[in-house]
Structure 1
Amino acid sequence: MHRFIVVGGGAGGLELATRLGDRYAPRKNKGEVRAQVTLVDRNPTHIWKPLLHEVAAGSMDPFTQELEYAAQARWHGFEFQQGELTGLDRAAKRITLAPVIDDDGAELLPQRVLDYDTLVVAIGSTTHFFGVKGAPEYSLALDTVSQAERFRKRLIAACMRAEHQAHEPVESTPDASVPSTEPRVQVAIVGAGATGVELSAELRNTAQVLSAYGLHKLDPRHDVGIVLIEAGPRILPALQERVSTATAELLTKLGVKLMTGETVAEVAPGVVRTASGKAIRADLTVWAAGIKAPAILSQLDGLPVNRLGQLIVRRTLQTEVDDNVFALGDCAACPWPGNERNVPPRAQAAHQQASFLLKALAARLENQPLPEFTYRDFGSLVSLGHFSAVGNLMGGVIGGNMLIEGLFARFMYMSLYRLHIAALHGYARMVLDTFAHWLRRTTLPRVKLH
């Protein structure tokens, strides 16, 4: 019996474990077990990471979108082990998992050792602070649900405090009759990639909804300021310039202040300082300026990594020095033939790699040569909340390259998540889940209020 272990239950890892479980589950093979599939993740639940900006803005309740790994394992014939990867012994073909500790500091599960025949590493990425002074201490990242929820609660608290302070009497000054043009609450978002841009648009909607429900009486457009800071010459630097230009126009109409060509030099309480000497007031600072691979990858028994800490893999997705260890998704540096850079860290890449590995691992079981992975770029979409969406479709979608925006782009963006749900549960359950989600939204406020 071949032992597959998939470490990391993100978009690619969970899809791969689910489809491997479906293929090799005993009930699908008349009781014969050719392979055992185990999924490892440090968390008990899964949420699609591209949705975290919606959690941070309160426009999505994570508890209605989370998927229990144990339940998915039961439904699809694989085993789930909760724990964080801390070590790898390639000679013995085993991994070590850290103990699981509960919120009170008590040990739930001890340290464990799991044996494998094929190991797939899919632990994603984490925020890259680039050594900027004060950034880890005084800014919030959006890597996990708990971080996104923390930002959401701090935003609501900041608005409520600002309204209270607005009603407090102030000492008379010569300029007391001149209304202030400064927003009472200001959010600074460092990094104008997809996460930063999408969060800025969602926050504009959140400010309006919180005011409509009476959580604050601030003017949602003038009293709640949003500043988007980008070191490059334009926002969305990884996408085509016409997508960037269209998005910048939409954000400006929403009242988002764009600061391009500004490198952040320091983050301090209440302020973000740039290399050019500017000081930007920030009641809340979000860091969305870049990603890197988790530090544990550089400690995995001699597996080579690149400067971002990603595991260097061949086009078969096998690591350079060990044919028994594969990697996919954000944590893998995979060649992209015909391009100077590697396969980009996108959800569509992880999905394609999971589909590829399902076939490649089947060939491995049959002792056949492994195929080589070829990434197909279908374009990029950026959501601007319920206001709009913008992006470009390319390659196999339309046979060319086309800028799209508005309702059609919004529909295409929403369909990406639905395709992820279909990969995990099948199309019939995806349709039911979509309908159930729509029914829930009709009885809930548009933004989580508590």
Structure 2
Amino acid sequence: MNTQADIPHLPRIVIVGGGAGGLELATRLGDTLGRRGQAEITLIERGRSHLWKPLLHQAAAGTLGIDDNELNYLAQSTWHHFKYRLGAMDGLDRANKQVLVAPTRDDDGREIVPRRSFGYDILVLALGSQNNDFGTPGAAEHAIALDTVDDARRFHRRLVNACIAANTQAAPLRPEQLKVVAIGAGATGVELVAELHNATRALAAYGLDRIDPERDVRLSLVEAAPRILPALSARLSASAAAELAKLKVEIHTGKRVTAVTSSGVQTADGDFLPAELVVWAAGVKAPDVLRDLDGLESNRINQLVVRPTLQTTRDDAIFALGDCAACPWAGHDGNVPPRAQAAHQQANFLVRQIARQLAGKPLSPFVYRDFGSLVSLGEYSTVGSLMGGLSKGSMFIEGHFARFIYWLLYRKHLLSLHGFWKTVFLTLARMISRTAEPRIKLH
């Protein structure tokens, strides 16, 4: 007679992290292995809803409605045959193949979900990345890093409150009032200040008649490298800088930030930039939990070192993808860059590789294809380069065509999560609803 222990269980595939890569992987595995009853798919995520990370700068500026673009994990798991479990991983027991998850508490500190552990046969770590302030004095206390939806909401509330306060007070503006400094002129910093140029003008138009954005609002970028967008081509950088100059954004390159205070930013050369709002967008690292995670190999920015198969170097049953993985880039020096397109490609790759591993077949190496980079400059312009099938090298693009390609990137992400028809209906519904809403979120 068989006992419960004798009954073989379905292969347990656990994915930790519900960002673009992790959620796309859970959805596709659920639609294939989960729906057919061939595996048990579980997504562990500390948040309750998903927003595509490249949209965070728009959410922070208020030009994109978070509620209209969020995806609820519980609903997605029900629709696509995987399990969603609320919680943050805080440890790993490789010997017993257990993911350790911290208790979850509400805003008042009350425990919602107790400490738990989840068994796995295959584990995929997709925890993404976060900004790295390098221990700069005052950065943690006085700067906002746009890593999460909560960060975007916090920044937007502070922006609206700053404008309301300035519009109400009788006294002259303080030197730092209505000044915004973005530290780091990568894509996030550049896109944010461009979006804020439009957002502050739209916000002032809704009854804040004592604020003159041209006179009172100042937007600044601070970058330690000699030019903005240092990871991208010089031509793209120059084009973006020219567009920002038209928006009267102050660009400070070759400046290293040494401290952030409640009233501004101090640089190594002795300059002080007054600011009421400071955004830290310089440098990235993987979450600290990945450092020395039960013996897994990690690098200096906490990324898990993986082989070309995306398996971690010290455990064949554990994979890593996206920003938290240090994946070798075949034919190039260094690793695959931490971009949304890399996470998307790796999620698609792992759908096939996990099926091969379950079938006992050998795994193939991941090959990253760089399709170029795009930087949105708000409603004014988009600049970028396309690579791959459209040209032998790279093709510089800007203007309306570049904006259209940028718009398509988000739709591609939605297609991965919803399929064609639901994406079409969601896009049409959003376009219609926008006609009856303010141009900017006002609270």
The structural deviation recorded for 1:160 is: 2.1
Cα distance between partner residues in 2 of 1:59 and 1:217: 22
**Is contact 2:287–2:302 with CA below 8 Å preserved after alignment?**
yes
The structural deviation recorded for 1:158 is: 1.4
Q: Are 1:14 and 2:7 an aligned pair?
A: no
SS where residue 156 of structure 2 aligns?
helix
Match of 1:204 in 2: 197
Cα distance between partner residues in 2 of 1:206 and 1:414: 19
Match of 1:439 among 400, 422, 432: 432
Match of 2:253 in 1: 260
Match of 2:52 in 1: 48
Alignment of 1:151-170 (within 5 A): 151-165=155-169, 167-168=170-171
Q: Deviations over 1:271-296 (max 9, x none)?
A: 21100010111111110011101000
Match of 2:11 in 1: 2
Deviation >6 Å, runs of 4+? 180-183
Cα distance between partner residues in 1 of 2:375 and 2:50: 22
SS where residue 221 of structure 1 aligns?
helix
**Is contact 1:21–1:37 with CA below 8 Å preserved after alignment?**
yes
Cα distance between partner residues in 1 of 2:285 and 2:80: 31
Alignment of 1:125-274 (within 5 A): 125-165=129-169, 167-168=170-171, 184-274=177-267
Q: Deviations over 1:144-179 (max 9, x none)?
A: 1111111111111112222334x43x7xxxxxxxxx
Cα distance between partner residues in 1 of 2:309 and 2:336: 13
Match of 1:370 in 2: 363
Match of 2:5 in 1: none
**Is contact 2:13–2:120 with CA below 8 Å preserved after alignment?**
yes
Count of matched residue pairs: 434
**Is contact 1:56–1:148 with CA below 8 Å preserved after alignment?**
yes
Match of 2:6 in 1: none
Cα distance between partner residues in 2 of 1:182 and 1:81: 47
Cα distance between partner residues in 1 of 2:339 and 2:313: 22
The structural deviation recorded for 1:182 is: 7.0
Q: Deviations over 1:108-132 (max 9, x none)?
A: 1111111000000001011100121
Cα distance between partner residues in 1 of 2:108 and 2:279: 28
**Is contact 1:87–1:299 with CA below 8 Å preserved after alignment?**
no
Q: Are 1:410 and 2:399 an aligned pair?
A: no
**Is contact 1:183–1:223 with CA below 8 Å preserved after alignment?**
no
Cα distance between partner residues in 2 of 1:447 and 1:291: 29
**Is contact 2:177–2:275 with CA below 8 Å preserved after alignment?**
no
Query: Aligned in 2, Cα 1:183/1:96: closer, same or farther, shift over 3 Å?
Result: closer
Match of 1:173 in 2: none
Cα distance between partner residues in 2 of 1:25 and 1:360: 16
**Is contact 2:290–2:302 with CA below 8 Å preserved after alignment?**
yes
The structural deviation recorded for 1:300 is: 1.5
Cα distance between partner residues in 2 of 1:368 and 1:435: 43
SS where residue 315 of structure 2 aligns?
coil
**Is contact 2:182–2:222 with CA below 8 Å preserved after alignment?**
yes
Q: Are 1:104 and 2:113 an aligned pair?
A: no
Match of 2:416 among 413, 423, 427: 423
Cα distance between partner residues in 2 of 1:235 and 1:367: 48
Could you tell me which runs of 5 or more consecutive residues in structure 2 were left unpaired when the two chains were aligned. 1-9
Cα distance between partner residues in 2 of 1:99 and 1:185: 39
Q: Which amino acid aligns with 1:41?
A: E
Q: Which amino acid aligns with 1:155?
A: L
Match of 1:351 in 2: 344
The structural deviation recorded for 1:100 is: 1.2
The structural deviation recorded for 1:23 is: 0.3
Query: Aligned in 2, Cα 1:182/1:269: closer, same or farther, shift over 3 Å?
Result: closer
Cα distance between partner residues in 1 of 2:316 and 2:233: 36
Match of 1:310 in 2: 303
SS where residue 214 of structure 2 aligns?
coil
Q: Are 1:124 and 2:128 an aligned pair?
A: yes
**Is contact 1:3–1:117 with CA below 8 Å preserved after alignment?**
yes
Cα distance between partner residues in 1 of 2:184 and 2:192: 11
Match of 2:33 in 1: 24
The structural deviation recorded for 1:299 is: 3.8
Alignment of 1:361-400 (within 5 A): 361-400=354-393
Q: Which amino acid aligns with 1:288?
A: A
SS where residue 312 of structure 2 aligns?
coil
The structural deviation recorded for 1:181 is: 13
Q: Which amino acid aligns with 2:24?
A: E
Q: Which amino acid aligns with 2:15?
A: V
Cα distance between partner residues in 2 of 1:319 and 1:222: 54
What percentage of residue pairs aligned between the two structures are identical?
Answer: 54
**Is contact 2:175–2:274 with CA below 8 Å preserved after alignment?**
no
Q: Which amino acid aligns with 1:260?
A: T
Q: Which amino acid aligns with 2:187?
A: A
Relative to structure 2, which stretch is displaced further, 316-325 or 101-110? 101-110
Cα distance between partner residues in 2 of 1:216 and 1:112: 53
Match of 1:294 among 280, 287, 294: 287
Q: Which amino acid aligns with 1:24?
A: L
The structural deviation recorded for 1:303 is: 0.3
RMSD after superposition: 1.4
The structural deviation recorded for 1:220 is: 1.4
Match of 1:94 in 2: 98
